[in-house]
């Protein structure tokens, strides 16, 4: 809980330092005046309020979540993409009215500080709220009895205030949309400093906008992720969603603002190709599984080979899911590489996301594997026999 914020501040500080060494000491330790700003607090609370208001707007669709312990299902608004578009319109209006968006880059440290503070306070409130929640509302993982562990993992599975789902809201809105807004501010600031944004900055902005746009367009798919169906809402997700995602996932664009990198058109084309390959695998695999889970006789997936399980559900063993057991992770990792390459190879810092993400996905894959083994038993073992590689064919 201390190491994660410390890492985030380290990254923010070294990204703007001359040597930009991932493993070096930060150039200075920020004092309270560099971290605390009432304006940053006001901006952050306005941002959360705005995204909460967008969440509450009428949605094009209400989706049902997975079945819960008490056999009920929660309902979720599907209007994340609408929130992204409304945010873009509002920011566009603001910029055309003279809003200095580039100034946001000067406020990243105090904004990250208030986001961290919010995550701690929010997690504490969530922990207390879980004390009065019924047993059926608790998450399988975060109720060990060790308060520090439970505070970190989260005790309640789907904490809600009336129909407002705190975890679902945080997972996709303020952090993800905040990430692309910070990227855009860095692009605007670069244009102000150097006359125009660099090609590398355009690529990083474009790739990450595609990723965030995709997540919000296919928002319903998040309802089947382990974050929503299995993990409680505690410090890990609150900090991850509200602080870690916007302030560390924008690291490549931060690095580029302070360390401009030349990029040939030919190299840029190769990087675009790598991102496109990663995206096709990521989207193809995710859509294939979602289509199959919704309706196994859908013509797009009906011809695929499957294994039956004792639960009545089937597992795909051909198509993307016959290549490796987590093709979507493979695509995601290839995209992560494409996001770092525009930053050149002179520094390790812009590759932090790739390194962290590899560790996160290897760990996540192992957790998912355990859950699937528990759920599907022998059928899962058979799947592992037929599809022996986890993420990278013939390697891992």
Ligand X SMILES: NC(=O)C1=CN([C@@H]2O[C@H](COP(=O)(O)OP(=O)(O)OC[C@H]3O[C@@H](n4cnc5c(N)ncnc54)[C@H](OP(=O)(O)O)[C@@H]3O)[C@@H](O)[C@H]2O)C=CC1
Ligand Y SMILES: CC(C)CCC[C@@H](C)[C@H]1CC=C2C3=C(CC[C@@]21C)[C@@]1(C)CC[C@H](O)C[C@@H]1CC3
Site for ligand Y in 159-178 (CB under 6 A): 171-172
How long, in residues, is the chain? Answer: 396
Which of ligand Y, ligand X, none does residue 244 bind (CB under 5 to 8 Å by kind)?
ligand Y
Q: Which of 157, 236, 330, 333 binds ligand Y (CB under 6 A)?
A: 236
Of residues 214 and 369, the one with the C-beta less far from ligand Y: 214
Site string for ligand X, 330-369 (x = CB under 6 A): --x-------------------------------x---x-
Joined together, the tokens standing for residue 47 give: 């941002």
**Quick one: which H or E segment has residue 77?**
strand 75-77
One character per residue 308-327, x = contact with ligand X (rule: CB under 6 A): -----x-xx----x----x-
Is residue 225 at the binding interface for ligand Y, with CB under 6 A as the rule? yes
Integer Cα distance of 30 and 286 in angstroms? 42
Is residue 331 at the binding interface for ligand Y, with CB under 6 A as the rule? Answer: no
Give which of ligand Y, ligand X, none residue 190 binds (C-beta under 5 to 8 Å, depending on kind).
none
Q: What is the closest distance, in whole angstroms, from the C-beta atom of residue 378 to ligand X in the complex?
A: 15
Binding of ligand X by 390 (CB under 6 A): no
Residue 287 makes CB contacts below 8 A (sequence gap 6+) with 218
Nearer to ligand Y, 247 or 261 (CB): 247
Residues 6+ apart with CB under 8 A from 380: 309, 315, 372, 373
Position of minimal CB gap to ligand X = 225
Q: What is the DSSP string of 306-354?
A: EEE-TTS-EEE-SGGGGT-S-HHHHHHHHHHHHHHGGG-SS-SGGGHHH
241 binds ligand X, rule: CB under 6 A: no
- CA dihedral defined by 277, 329, 249, 212, rounded to 10 degrees? 70
By CB under 6 A, tell whether 328 contacts ligand X. Answer: yes
Helix (H, G, I), strand (E, B), or coil: what is residue 37? coil
- Does position 372 interact with ligand X (CB under 6 A)? The reply is yes
What whole-number distance in Å separates Cα of residue 19 and Cα of residue 9? 16
* Near ligand X by CB under 6 A: residue from 151, 282, 339, 351: 282
Identify the three-state secondary structure at position 62. strand
359-369 burial: b if 16+ Cβ within 10 Å, else e: eebeebbeebe
Task: Between 322 and 344, name the residue whose CB sits nearer to ligand X.
Answer: 322
What's the rounded Cα separation, in Å, for the pair 249 and 29? Answer: 22
Choose the one of ligand Y, ligand X, none that binds residue 4, judging by a C-beta under 5 to 8 angstroms depending on kind.
ligand Y
CB of 235 to ligand X, least distance (A): 17
**Is position 362 an interface residue for ligand Y (rule: CB under 6 A)?**
no
Strand ranges inside 157-215, DSSP E: 160-161, 164-165
372 binds, among ligand Y, ligand X, none (CB under 5 to 8 A by kind): ligand X
Question: Site residues (CB under 6 A) for ligand X?
Answer: 225-226, 282, 286, 289, 292-293, 313, 315-316, 321, 326, 328-329, 332, 364, 368, 371-372
């Amino acid at each position: 809980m201390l190491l994660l914020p410390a890492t985030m501040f380290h990254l923010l500080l070294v990204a703007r330092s001359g040597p930009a060494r991932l493993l070096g000491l930060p150039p200075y330790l920020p004092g309270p005046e560099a971290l605390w700003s009432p304006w940053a607090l006001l901006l952050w609370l306005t941002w959360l309020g705005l995204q909460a208001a967008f969440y509450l707007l009428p949605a094009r669709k209400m989706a049902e979540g997975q079945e819960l312990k008490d056999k009920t299902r929660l309902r979720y608004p599907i209007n994340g993409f609408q929130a992204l578009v409304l945010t873009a319109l509002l920011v566009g209006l603001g910029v055309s009215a003279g809003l200095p968006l580039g100034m946001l880059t000067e406020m990243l440290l105090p904004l990250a500080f208030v986001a961290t503070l919010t995550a701690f306070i929010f997690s504490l409130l969530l922990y207390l709220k879980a004390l009065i929640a019924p047993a059926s509302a608790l998450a399988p993982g975060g109720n060990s009895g060790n308060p520090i562990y439970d505070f970190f993992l989260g005790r309640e599975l789907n904490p809600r205030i009336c129909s407002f789902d705190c975890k679902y809201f945080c997972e996709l809105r303020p952090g993800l949309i905040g990430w692309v807004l910070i990227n855009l501010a860095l692009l605007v600031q670069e244009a102000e400093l150097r006359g125009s944004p660099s090609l590398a900055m355009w690529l990083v902005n474009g790739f990450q906008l595609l990723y965030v746009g995709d997540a919000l367009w296919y928002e319903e798919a998040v309802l089947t992720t382990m974050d929503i169906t299995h993990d409680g809402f505690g410090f890990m997700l609150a900090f991850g969603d509200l602080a870690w995602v916007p302030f560390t996932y924008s690291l490549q664009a931060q690095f580029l603002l302070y360390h401009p990198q030349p990029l040939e058109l030919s190299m840029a084309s190769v990087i675009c190709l790598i991102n496109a390959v990663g995206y096709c695998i990521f989207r193809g695999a995710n859509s294939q599984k979602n289509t199959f889970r919704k309706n196994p006789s859908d013509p797009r997936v009906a011809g695929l080979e499957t294994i039956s399980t004792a639960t009545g559900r089937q597992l795909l063993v051909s198509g993307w899911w016959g290549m490796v057991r987590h093709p979507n992770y493979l695509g995601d990792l290839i995209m992560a590489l494409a996001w770092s390459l525009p930053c050149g190879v002179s520094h390790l810092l812009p590759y932090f996301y790739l390194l962290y993400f590899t560790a996160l996905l290897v760990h996540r894959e192992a957790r998912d594997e355990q859950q699937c083994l528990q759920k599907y038993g022998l059928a899962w073992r058979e799947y592992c026999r037929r599809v022996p590689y986890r993420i990278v064919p013939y390697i891992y």
